[in-house]
């Protein structure tokens, strides 16, 4: 006799397997207020000495011709006390995130985080950075030093100065119905002063146009994460 099928969600053998998850991590910096002004003053000094708006010279065709100032890619290596504190906070957070993303297989203290590139963006007058992803790293991040008037606007539409991320599974087009609604095409992340946002390097993302009475100021970075040599985890996994 055929057994009643019953409810799928309560069936003992019914389960889901999650593969290739895309994770974001958000963490406010408790010391933001103590270091904000010193960092902004330092960045303003760098901005004043720049000979061109995009000092890095990287991907200028993806960036607005006006309203955006970008520094060189060595910001967090500068000898500045407040930036050193921020860099330590970032490294600690990336280590914790990488540990969680890999199922806590390796504890954060057994991971070494290297910030390979770091730079600032100061935007206004509709400055933007078009959709792109990052190379040569596993985890990237944005630290919101001053969001100004960024965020959702009363009239709706795209957020002013928002950080928009695009679903990696929709590249090239895909049929959409309720079954895959969770794969919505884009995601606008929260914006607040002192917030660190981490995301995997493969994600396509953009810095949306910004206008406001205050400049929008962020610090961005690319990082690599490796298992510390000599640890039990390194012996078990092979150092990588």
Q: Which two tokens stand for residue 85?
A: 């504190």
Closest Cα to residue 166, out of 194, 202, 127? 202
DSSP 8-state symbol, 113: E
The domain tally of the chain equals 1
Percent of the chain past pLDDT 70, that is, above it, reads: 93
- Which residues, including other chains, have CB under 8 Å from residue 98's CB and lie 6 or more apart? 108, 111, 113, 138, 139, 225
5 domain residue, yes or no: no
102 domain residue, yes or no: yes
170 domain residue, yes or no: no
Please give the mean pLDDT across all residues of the chain.
Answer: 92
Q: Which domain holds residue 37?
A: 27-164+186-237
Contact present, 122 and 69 (Cβ < 8 Å)? yes
pLDDT of amino acid 184: 82
Report d(CA 235, CA 216) in Å as an integer: 45
pLDDT of amino acid 180: 82
- The single residue listed with the structure tokens 């996994």 is 237
pLDDT of amino acid 175: 77
13 domain residue, yes or no: no
Closest Cα to residue 70, out of 118, 35, 115, 32? 118
pLDDT, averaged in runs of 10, over the chain (240 residues): 62 81 96 98 97 92 94 97 98 97 94 98 96 95 97 88 90 74 88 98 96 97 96 81
160 domain residue, yes or no: yes
Closest Cα to residue 132, out of 58, 215, 69, 197? 58
- The single residue listed with the structure tokens 């000092």 is 55
pLDDT of amino acid 36: 98
* Phi (first) and psi of residue 171, to 5 degrees: -60, 125
List 119's β-bridge partners, or say none.
220
Report d(CA 229, CA 211) in Å as an integer: 47
14 domain residue, yes or no: no
Which CATH number does the domain housing residue 190 bear? 2.60.120.620
Could you tell me whether strands 205-210 and 111-123 are parallel, antiparallel, or unpaired per DSSP bridges? unpaired
């Amino acid at each position: 006799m055929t057994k009643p099928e019953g409810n799928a969600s309560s069936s003992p053998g019914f389960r889901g397997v999650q593969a290739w998850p895309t994770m974001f991590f958000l963490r406010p910096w408790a010391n933001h207020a103590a270091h904000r002004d010193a960092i902004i003053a330092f960045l303003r000094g760098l901005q004043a000495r720049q000979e061109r708006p995009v000092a890095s010279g990287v991907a200028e065709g993806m960036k607005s011709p006006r309203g955006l100032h970008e520094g060189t890619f060595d910001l967090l290596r500068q000898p500045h006390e407040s930036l050193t504190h921020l860099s330590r906070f970032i490294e600690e957070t990336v280590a914790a995130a990488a540990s969680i993303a890999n199922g806590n297989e390796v504890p954060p203290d057994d991971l070494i985080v290297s910030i390979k590139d770091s730079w600032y963006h100061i935007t206004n007058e509709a400055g933007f950075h078009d959709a792109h992803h990052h190379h040569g790293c596993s985890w990237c991040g944005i630290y919101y030093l001053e969001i100004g008037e960024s965020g959702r606007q009363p009239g709706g539409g795209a957020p002013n100065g928002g950080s928009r991320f695009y679903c990696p599974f929709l590249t090239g087009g895909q049929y959409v119905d309720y079954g895959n609604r969770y794969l919505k095409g884009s995601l606008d992340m929260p914006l607040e002063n002192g917030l660190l946002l981490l995301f995997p390097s493969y994600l396509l993302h953009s810095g949306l146009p910004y206008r406001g009475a205050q400049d929008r100021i962020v610090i961005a970075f690319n990082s690599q994460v490796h298992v510390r040599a000599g640890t039990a985890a390194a012996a078990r996994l092979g150092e990588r």
